[in-house]
Amino acid sequence: MGLALLGSGLLTPDSAATLAMRTAPILLFVVAMTVVTELANSAGLFGSVTARLARWGARAGTGEQGHGRIIVLWLIVIAVATLSTAFLSLDTTAVLVTPVVVFLARHARIHPLPFALTTVWLANTASLFLPVSNLTNLLAQHRLGLSPLGFTELLWAPALLGVAVPTAALWLLFRKDLHGRFTAPEIPQAADKRLLAFSGVTVAVLLPALVSGIAVWIPAAIAAAFLLVVFSIRKPGALRWTMLPLQPLLLAMGLFLVVATLHDHGLATVLAGAAGSGNGFVDLLQMAGGGALGANAANNLPAYLALEPLADSPMRLAALLIGVNLGPLVSPWASLATLLWHSRLKAMGVEISWRAYALAGVGLSLVLVPTAVLGLWLSAGAPG
C-alpha cells in the first residue's frame, strides 16, 4: 500500500525520504532486538531466570525452600513484565513473558488469566520508562533530541503510575485468586549450558548499553550479530527466517507511509481542534485522550504519527505518549503487543473473552490516562 501511495504521487518523494531517514534506524533496532530475544529464549534464558525468581519468591514468602505464597509469585510476574517491557520492549514481553507466566500459573494451580492479564496490561502501561520500551518512544526521542536519561526525567511520574495503577486494578479484580500457596518450580536444565551463559552475558551487557546514550540500534545490532555467530556454531537449527519480525515490520512501514500521506493532505489541520493547544492540564488531557482513542480505533503507531505534528512542546509530546502507550487497553488491535499476547495464549489453550477484556480496559483507561496526565503536569510544576 505504501509503495502504491508513493507511486501514485499522493505521497511526495520528499516526505517519503524524510520518513525513511527517521524510521530506518528504529526498524533496524526492532529487527536486532527480536533476534537477540528470540535466540536468548531458545537458549532457555528467560525460563531459567523466571524459575529462579519463583524459587527465590517461595523462600522469601515463607522462609522455606519448597513452598511460597501465590501473591508473592504474582509480584514476581509484575516485576518480570515491568523490567522486560522497560528494557526489552512491550512486544518482547508479549511474546516471551506470556508463555512463562502461563506456565507459572498452571504450576501454582490457579487460572492463568490473572497472570496473563497482568502481562498484557503491563506490556502496554509499563512502556514509558525508556525510549527502547516502545517504538512510539523511539519516534518521540528522535523528535525531542533527548538522551535516555532525559526521556526518563520527562516521563518518570506517568511511567510509575503506569505500573502502580494497573497493579492496584489487578489486585481489586483478582485478589481472591491470589490467595494460597504454590510449590516452587524446578529450574529447567539447559541443553547447552555454554549457550545459556553466552546469551545471559550478552543480554546483561546489552541492557546498560541501551540506556547509555548511544544510538540504540548499534549495541542491539552488535549483540544480534554476536549471538548469530555463536548459535551458528553451537545450535544452527535455531537460526530460521521465521524469527525475523517481517509481518510487524511491514505493518509498521505501511502505517508510517499511510499517515505520512495523510499529513501531506492536511491531516494535522483536521485534528487540530480536538487536540488542544497548550500545556495546561485540560489541553494535555485532550492530547492524551486523542492518542488513546486513536490507538483503540486503529493502532498506537498511526495514532502517534497522526497527532505528533500537534505535539509542539515536550509536555504535549509526553501527553501524546501517555495516550498511545497507556491507553491501548480496549481493542485487540490497539497495539501489536496485544495481538502477539493473544496469539501466545491461543497457542497454549488459554481462552479469553474480548468483551470482558474491553470492559476492564475501558475502566482502567478512564482512571489511568487522566491520572498519568495529572502526574506529568504536576511533576513539571503545573505549567499553564
Print pLDDT tens along the chain (384 aa). Answer: 556 666 666 667 776 777 777 778 888 888 888 899 889 988 988 888 877 877 777 676 554 555 678 898 899 999 999 999 999 899 889 988 898 899 888 887 888 999 999 999 999 999 999 999 999 999 999 889 899 999 999 999 999 999 999 999 999 999 998 888 877 777 777 778 899 999 999 999 998 998 888 888 899 999 999 999 999 999 998 888 888 777 777 777 777 777 777 766 666 666 666 667 789 999 999 999 999 998 998 889 888 988 998 898 999 999 999 999 999 999 998 998 998 899 889 888 899 999 999 999 999 999 999 999 999 999 988 776
- Residue 181 backbone dihedrals phi, psi, to 5 degrees: -125, 160
Q: What's the pLDDT at 19?
A: 73
Grid coordinates representing 82 are: 515491568
Distance between CA 306 and CA 297 in Å, rounded? 13
Q: Would you mind telling me the total number of residues written for the chain in this entry?
A: 384
Grid coordinates representing 242 are: 521465521
Please state the domain extents for the chain: 2-379
